[in-house]
Amino acid sequence: MIDIPMEIAGAAILSPAGLDEAAIGRAMAALVPTGADLADIYFEAVKTRRWRLENGRVVGGGFEMRQGVGIRAARHGEVAFAHSADLREPALLDTARAVRAMMRHGDAAPPVAAVPVARVGGHHGLYPVVDPVSAPDAAAWIALLERIDALARDADPRVERVDAGMTAADQVVLVIGLDGRMHADVRPLLRVGLTVVAQAGDRRGRGSASLGGRHDLAALDEEALRRTVRRAVEIATVNLDAYPAPTGTMPVVLAPGYPGVLFHEAVGHGLEGDHHRKGISVFTGRMGERIAAPGVTVIDDGGLSGRAGSVGIDDEGTPADRTVLIEDGVLVGLMQDRLNAGLMNARPTGNGRRQSYAHLPMPRMTNTFLAAGRDDPADILASVDHGIYAVEFGGGQVDIVSGRFNFSTTQAFLIENGRVTAPIDGATLIGAGDEALRHIGMIGSDLALDSGEASCGKEGQWLDVGVGQPTVRIDRMMVGGRA
């Protein structure tokens, strides 16, 4: 049976550079004398295409290509790393020798001529093996952006401006470990986003929405696209009538879906293995303890079909996994890459991710979400006498050590006597991740994931991720308004 990802990776990465398994085995053999307990070679080839529409006109497009190799070796936690944009065998061997020279332990193991390299086949089936960059011509991209503009303007006469963009990426990776096992993956990604400005008299409102996933342009769902445009228009027009947000400590209800980004930032990063190994997470040393209210279960799952945060294999060759982090309020798991897992006597969880071949992998989230509860979402809203209902979020900040965070909302409403009433402007949610977990009072049955817009930064590396949650009531949270 033909292993399509491996065939594509061979054609995109190995053949143009004149490489084969024997050459890779010779490069890996250069790392053996270091006595490394962990080593890998990571090849990557990426194509990216972008188009941009501003206020009714397509004003730009771009095409980028990136390829290279990163080589890593580690012994007892000491890591050496080098990378090269030249994939030919002399450069590959030079890169491996540079890593060997950086290791402090000299010749800790006898040299070998080559490490046998064996292909590990089989497609995971989480997303199709397609190239979203090369297939459509410019006319298809431009027509879709112009259609987004028309849909937004037709939706409401108050729409004054529409900006939209599309990004498609085709990432092909090959990962070879010290054991010589070679894994391949082909990762498509398509993302569409728009921002709408509406005006009524001297009042202006802004709304944004995005749609993305691991597929190509042909698989873009028509109804999902229309729903995304309508959502941006709705946010913009509702915000025309927004009042200044109240301030103080009050109950906050988070809508399902993308508001899960609050828990992604305030809780998820604190459950990445490296932060625990270094002792800098607010949750360090609390494994097995209750850190959240009963009923709170948080999961990271890189194996959700078609999601932007999914990976068939991570960037160390570990298959995608489903990791329960918090179960019924108790801390039970962490996200691990191979390095931290080895140092912490744990198992890798498929969370070893990197921005590119020029970056080291580290524990990173994939699709992280708060699992569904049993409460009716209508009952959750009805339980609040005075609070706010946060529907959409913009930017936020979190301190991993303390867990303190603040997130600005882009759409929120007052809750008065159990009813959602007036839209409010400028609401900022302020708190700490461990406190927010303990103050969760009700969890809805309406789990939803984001529509593909989420991305995540850590130590200067940016990756596509997924977030999600059901409707959630946090009984006590500080709400700040616009200064």
Q: Which residue do the tokens 């882009």 mark?
A: 410
Q: Cα dist. 9→14, 43, 45, 82, 172 in Å? A: 7, 9, 8, 21, 6
Q: What is the pLDDT of residue 413?
A: 98
Q: Mean pLDDT across the chain, nearest whole number? A: 94
What does the domain layout of the chain look like in residue ranges?
Answer: 4-240, 244-480
Q: What is the pLDDT of residue 106?
A: 57
Query: In degrees rounded to 5, what are phi and psi of residue 355?
Result: -70, -40
Q: What is the pLDDT of residue 177?
A: 96
> Do the beta carbons of residue 452 and residue 465 sit within 8 Å?
no
- Paired residues of 185 in beta bridges: 173
Q: Which residue do the tokens 């609050």 mark?
A: 262
In angstroms, rounded to a whole number, what is the distance separating the alpha carbons of residues 226 and 201?
A: 27
> Do the beta carbons of residue 429 and residue 440 sit within 8 Å?
no
Residue 264 DSSP class: I
In angstroms, rounded to a whole number, what is the distance separating the alpha carbons of residues 46 and 170?
A: 6
For 190-211, what is each residue's pLDDT tens digit?
A: 999 999 999 999 999 999 999 9
For 445-479, what is each residue's pLDDT tens digit?
A: 999 999 999 999 999 999 999 999 999 999 999 99
| pLDDT over 70, % of the chain | 98
CB contact set of 314 (below 8 Å; sequence gap of 6+): 302, 320, 337, 348, 350, 351, 352, 353, 361
- The model's pTM is 0.95
Phi-psi region of 255 (alpha: psi -120 to 50; beta: other; left: phi over 0): beta
Superfamily of domain 4-240: PmbA/TldD superfamily (3.30.2290.10)
> Do the beta carbons of residue 388 and residue 394 sit within 8 Å?
no
- Is 80 exceeded by the pLDDT of residue 136? no
> Do the beta carbons of residue 409 and residue 391 sit within 8 Å?
yes
In angstroms, rounded to a whole number, what is the distance separating the alpha carbons of residues 62 and 50?
A: 5
In angstroms, rounded to a whole number, what is the distance separating the alpha carbons of residues 465 and 325?
A: 16
For 44-60, what is each residue's pLDDT tens digit?
A: 999 999 999 999 899 99
> Do the beta carbons of residue 14 and residue 173 sit within 8 Å?
no
Q: How many other CB atoms are found less than 10 A from the CB of residue 32? A: 21
Q: Which residue do the tokens 């980028």 mark?
A: 64
